[in-house]
Chain A
Amino acid sequence: EPEVTQTPSHQVTQMGQEVILRCVPISNHLYFYWYRQILGQKVEFLVSFYNNEISEKSEIFDDQFSVERPDGSNFTLKIRSTKLEDSAMYFCASIAQTNTEAFFGQGTRLTVV
């Protein structure tokens, strides 16, 4: 069964460092997303990506964040200068068509120390 894969599963980084979280969406899907979940809280939308550009972003997705799909398969989320409050589980998701179910990756747990 096709699945969304994320790497790494856990990343620890020092405050101020750049991190790149990687995702491989399901191959025939068209829409890609990043969500985050601070420990014990709800899942929050960060950004959506379609046709090689951002289609929507939340207030959380400020200038410290960027996304790209460099090679047609990987979908990355970069945080330029991490803060303690960026510590969270980051989920990548993809959907085949608009408003169909989102398939989520296993998540990357980011810990900023």
Chain B
Amino acid sequence: AQKVTQAQTEISVVEKEDVTLDCVYETRDTTYYLFWYKQPPSGELVFLIRRNSFDEQNEISGRYSWNFQKSTSSFNFTITASQVVDSAVYFCALSVNQAGTALIFGKGTTLSVSS
């Protein structure tokens, strides 16, 4: 069975601080995909990144970066120089390599950035 754990329920930071959101996953499949989604207060789910299990390169996109480590089954997300607009719930999700398979979400981490 697959599982995603986001141990941090809530994180509060002050603007310009760096923050890392942790994600640990479990799967017996050798081919799988990891995702991060952002859910702002307005409620929609916004796709941030997709990474497959064979690509362990870290990725940077502006102030966002992701650290994928298969050895520890982790896919952590770092926001550099956080801003108030980063305040949201962030979900890590997993899907395995089967046609049309569903996303399995973690419970989410609520990030609050104050000015």
Chain A residues with a Cβ under 8 A of chain B? 31, 33, 35, 41-45, 48, 50, 55-56, 58, 89, 91, 93, 95, 98-107, 109
Residues of B within 8 Å of A105, CB to CB, are 44
Once the chains are docked, how many angstroms separate the CA of A89 from the CA of B102?
17
Q: Is the CB of A45 within 8 A of B103?
A: yes
Which of A56, A89, A93, A107 is close to B101, meaning CB atoms less than 8 Å apart? A56
**CB-CB nearest in chain B for A56:** B102
Q: Is the CB of B98 within 8 A of A98?
A: yes
Q: Is the CB of B105 within 8 A of A31?
A: no
A-B pairs with CB below 8 Å: how many? 67
Which of A33, A43, A99, A107 is close to B97, meaning CB atoms less than 8 Å apart? A99
Q: Which of B1-52 contact A (CB under 8 A)?
A: 33, 35, 37, 43-45, 47, 50, 52
Residues of B within 8 Å of A56, CB to CB, are 100-102
B88 at interface, CB cutoff 8 A: no
**CB-CB nearest in chain A for B97:** A99
Residues of B within 8 Å of A31, CB to CB, are 99-100
Residues of A within 8 Å of B97, CB to CB, are 98-99
Once the chains are docked, how many angstroms separate the CA of A91 from the CA of B43?
10
Rounded to whole Å, the gap between the CB of A67 and the closest CB of chain B is: 13
Supplied contacts A42-B108, A48-B102, 12 more A-B pairs, CB within 8 Å: A31-B100, A42-B106, A43-B45, A45-B104, A50-B100, A55-B99, A95-B100, A99-B33, A101-B50, A104-B44, A105-B44, A107-B43
Residues of A within 8 Å of B47, CB to CB, are 101-104
Q: Is the CB of B99 within 8 A of A106?
A: no
Residues of A within 8 Å of B106, CB to CB, are 42
Q: Is the CB of A101 within 8 A of B35?
A: yes
Report if A106-B43 is in contact (Cβ < 8 Å); known contacts: A99-B33, A101-B50: yes
Q: Is the CB of B91 within 8 A of A42?
A: yes
Rounded to whole Å, the gap between the CB of B45 and the closest CB of chain A is: 4
Residues of A within 8 Å of B95, CB to CB, are 99
Once the chains are docked, how many angstroms separate the CA of A100 from the CA of B33?
9
Once the chains are docked, how many angstroms separate the CA of A103 from the CA of B44?
10
